[in-house]
Amino acid sequence: MASVRAFLAAWGLARRIVGMTFRARLEYRGEFLMGIGIGIVWQVSIIVFATVLLGRFPGMGGWPSDAVLLIAAMRMFSHGLFVLCLGRVHMLATLVQEGRIDGYLLRPMPVYRQVQLTYFPANAIGDLLVGVSMFTGAVWSIDLHWTPLRIAYVIAGLLGGMLTEAAIFTAISSLHLHFPAANAWSVWTEELLATFGNYPLKILPGVISGALTFLLPLAFIAYLPAAVLTGHTSGLGVPGFIAAASPLIGLAAFVASRLLWNRSLRHYTGVNG
């Protein structure tokens, strides 16, 4: 019971900090609304590109347009959840370069949680508005019978996609503790996810598709869960049961990335080495 009370107290404190950072962002209404607008504009630009591409090529890699739209919608929804809940890992390189991460080590709260509570990401609201809208449209347009099991799986797929993206950037951020200049890797990876995460990986050469499945697990964010939902499970490059287990793999990847992050933090020696 003591452990349960400590857990609830810790997350109650986290909830209060989120409320404080949210109210702090609202003090600057123009900047807050601009942040939301940036999230909307960025995601809408992806939708426009995908719409033009699907209009030019009605099918991609044997997938009909509505199934491709489901991939893009699931990725964007998962990305919005990631930005809202866990996206502050992107700022770790800056914290290390400026020496501010050292102060986090003195506080009685896990450093990773402190990083996530640093500020409220207004752009996540824009990301989620577009992601939810696109996901609603994709679900409405696709010809699927939404049974309770399928609904449960798509929810698990969205959460698994969020955790997979969080695992990728948490693993990269563990390098920031030792190589602050590795921030370029985060930018490059984010561009890869935005470029290839919205389409069936079958359209890419086998080597690239394999790299985006096993080296950079982009396929587990939306492509494989959408393949399971729509029945396009042939030629995925992985067995069907692995594709179906994408949400669990996302959870396992996030746990592994957190262990790597904690290990890197124990070996952190400061910005000056």
Higher pLDDT, 49 or 210: 210
32 pLDDT more than 70: yes
Residue 33 pLDDT grade (very low, low, confident, very high; cuts 50, 70, 90): confident
Instruction: Please give the Cα distance from 247 to 77 (Å, whole number).
Output: 14
273 in a domain, yes or no?
no
Report percent pLDDT > 90 for the chain.
Answer: 39
Structural domain that includes position 160: 2-266
Burial class (CB in 10 A: 0-12, 13-18, 19+), 140: exposed
Q: Which residues pair with 59 in a beta bridge?
A: 64
Burial class (CB in 10 A: 0-12, 13-18, 19+), 211: middle
54 pLDDT more than 70: no
Give the residue among 170, 138, 190, 194 at the shortest CA–CA distance from 265.
Answer: 170
Residues 6+ apart with CB under 8 A from 260: 170, 171, 174
Arithmetic mean of pLDDT over the chain: 87
Contact 221, 199 (CB under 8 A): no
pTM of the model: 0.90
233 in a domain, yes or no?
yes
Instruction: Please give the Cα distance from 265 to 273 (Å, whole number).
Output: 13
272 in a domain, yes or no?
no
66 pLDDT more than 90: no
Residue 108: predicted pLDDT: 84
271 pLDDT more than 70: no
Segment 178-223, tens digit of pLDDT: 886 777 888 889 888 888 888 889 888 889 999 999 999 999 999 9
Range 67-95 average pLDDT: 90
Give the residue among 115, 77, 66 at the shortest CA–CA distance from 94.
Answer: 115
Range 101-106 average pLDDT: 86
Give the residue among 75, 81, 83, 82 at the shortest CA–CA distance from 224.
Answer: 75
Q: Which residues pair with 60 in a beta bridge?
A: 63
Q: Ramachandran region of residue 270, left (φ > 0), alpha (ψ -120 to 50) or beta?
A: left
214 in a domain, yes or no?
yes
Domain count, the chain: 1
Instruction: Please give the Cα distance from 42 to 229 (Å, whole number).
Output: 27
253 pLDDT more than 60: yes
